[in-house]
């Protein structure tokens, strides 16, 4: 059997029963976590998922290479931006996909760290459009890592192993059920959190908030580990990292329970075709709406222009998000490696 078919079968099956120990949760039942307040329910069949996996794993999305001009920042400018961020009260560097470096409260926070040139399970891989920038070796010392969920494009064990060797004292915050994977990578200070739980690291408060998504990471059972967004708060400064999410009523609840934020990192890729992707991924207009609901003045588009995970072109991901700004919301799509200094 060709290796691509073997991998496809593994990805689709998710049939290995891997029991996970975690505290009880109100949105966990029948060995699965559940979404709350979703506007769109999944309708795709196994045949639909098989078609999607075949196109993705074989690089057959025709618009995958249609990137914006100057998509990646020259590397010398990447490093200069990190130096600027070190002296800022709030700065965000987009490393690629959902990986961002945030300077807040005199701490360095890394989101969903994935630094390899490809993602996937087994020999069939999805490759990056541009290298991660800065590289893992050029990162400043990391104080905090937050991980939204355990899909391969958000939790990469080899990347985490290298980070653990370089930053053994970093604190890692993950949703329920994900801690075992992070400890396997070599981190000791790992906190598993349910939605609306808050922990502190020095002057930084880290709060897990709801997202609308799911989990596919064979051999673990589907939806057996939780997914979440994160709010980072230091003094009167707050950053929201949405992770991966569909649209629903949860964002008004986040605003009501957790307060407003200054900056929202929202996902703007992997949304086409809508009937297939809507239960799991917002489109750029919905991403901008999430930022507005959570009170952000600045919305930074992430989860785009890195891995070809769906049918839309990266230039369209960027164009639609920028067009969705206005009315008090500044939508930004930094180049790979670009640092946005929000507050000096």
Q: Domain containing 280 — which CATH number?
A: 3.60.15.10
Domain membership of residue 30 (yes or no) is no
Name residues of the chain where pLDDT drops below 50: 1-19
192-209 b/e with 16+ CB inside 10 Å = b?
bbbbebeeebeebbbbbb
Q: Note the pLDDT tens digit of each residue in 210-242.
A: 999 999 898 899 899 999 999 999 999 999 999
Q: Note the pLDDT tens digit of each residue in 188-211.
A: 999 999 999 999 999 999 999 999
**In whole angstroms, what is the distance from residue 10 CA to residue 294 CA?**
38
Would you call the peptide bond into 189 cis, given omega within 30 degrees of 0 as the criterion? no
Domain membership of residue 25 (yes or no) is no
**In whole angstroms, what is the distance from residue 172 CA to residue 334 CA?**
25
Q: What is the pLDDT of residue 10?
A: 39
Q: What is the pLDDT of residue 24?
A: 75
Q: Under a CB-based contact definition with an 8 Å cutoff, are residues 266 and 291 in contact?
A: yes
Domain membership of residue 282 (yes or no) is yes
Domain membership of residue 112 (yes or no) is yes
Q: What is the pLDDT of residue 218?
A: 83
Cβ atoms < 10 Å from Cβ of 296: 25
**In whole angstroms, what is the distance from residue 258 CA to residue 254 CA?**
5
Closest CA to 101 of 118, 78, 119, 126: 78
**In whole angstroms, what is the distance from residue 331 CA to residue 247 CA?**
18
Domain membership of residue 64 (yes or no) is yes
**In whole angstroms, what is the distance from residue 108 CA to residue 37 CA?**
32
Cβ atoms < 10 Å from Cβ of 338: 18
**DSSP result, 164-194:** HHH-TT-EEEEETT-HHHHHHTT-S-EEEE-
Domain membership of residue 27 (yes or no) is no
**In whole angstroms, what is the distance from residue 127 CA to residue 42 CA?**
27
| Confidence (pTM) | 0.93
Domain membership of residue 306 (yes or no) is yes
- For the chain, state the CA radius of gyration: 18
Helices (H), the chain: 3-13, 46-57, 75-86, 157-166, 179-184, 250-258, 274-277, 284-293, 314-323
Q: What is the pLDDT of residue 344?
A: 85
Domains in the chain: how many in total? 1
Q: What is the pLDDT of residue 319?
A: 98
Q: Which domain holds residue 118?
A: 3-19+36-343
Cβ atoms < 10 Å from Cβ of 301: 27
Domain membership of residue 251 (yes or no) is yes
């Amino acid at each position: 059997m060709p290796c691509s078919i073997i991998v496809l079968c593994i990805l689709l099956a998710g049939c290995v029963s891997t029991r996970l120990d975690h505290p009880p949760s109100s949105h966990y039942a029948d060995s699965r976590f559940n979404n709350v307040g979703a506007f769109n329910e999944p309708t795709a069949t196994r045949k639909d998922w098989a078609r999607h996996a075949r196109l993705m794993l074989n690089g057959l999305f025709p618009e995958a290479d249609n990137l914006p001009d100057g998509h990646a920042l020259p590397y010398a400018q990447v490093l200069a931006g990190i130096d600027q961020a070190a002296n800022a009260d709030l700065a965000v560097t987009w490393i690629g996909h959902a990986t961002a470096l945030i300077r807040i409260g005199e701490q360095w926070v890394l989101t969903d760290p994935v630094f390899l040139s490809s993602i996937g399970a087994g020999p069939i891989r999805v490759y990056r459009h541009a290298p991660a920038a800065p590289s893992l070796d050029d990162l400043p010392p990391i104080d905090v890592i937050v991980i939204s969920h355990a899909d391969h494009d958000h939790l990469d064990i080899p990347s985490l192993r290298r980070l653990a060797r370089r930053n053994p004292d970093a604190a890692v915050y993950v949703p329920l059920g994900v801690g075992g994977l992070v400890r396997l990578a070599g981190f000791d200070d790992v906190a598993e959190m349910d939605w609306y739980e808050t922990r502190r690291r020095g002057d930084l408060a880290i709060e897990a908030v709801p997202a609308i998504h799911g989990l596919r990471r064979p051999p673990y059972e589907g939806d057996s580990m939780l997914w979440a967004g994160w709010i980072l708060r230091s003094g009167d400064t707050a950053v929201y990292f949405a992770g991966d999410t569909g649209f629903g009523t949860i964002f008004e609840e986040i605003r009501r329970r957790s307060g407003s934020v200054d900056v929202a990192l929202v996902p703007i890729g992997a949304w086409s075709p809508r009937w297939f992707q809507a239960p799991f991924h917002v489109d750029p207009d919905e991403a901008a709406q999430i930022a507005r609901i959570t009170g952000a003045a600045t919305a930074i588009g992430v989860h785009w222009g890195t891995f070809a995970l769906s049918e839309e072109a990266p230039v369209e991901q960027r164009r639609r998000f920028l067009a969705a700004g206005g009315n008090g919301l500044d939508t930004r799509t930094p180049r790979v490696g670009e640092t946005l200094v929000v507050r000096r």
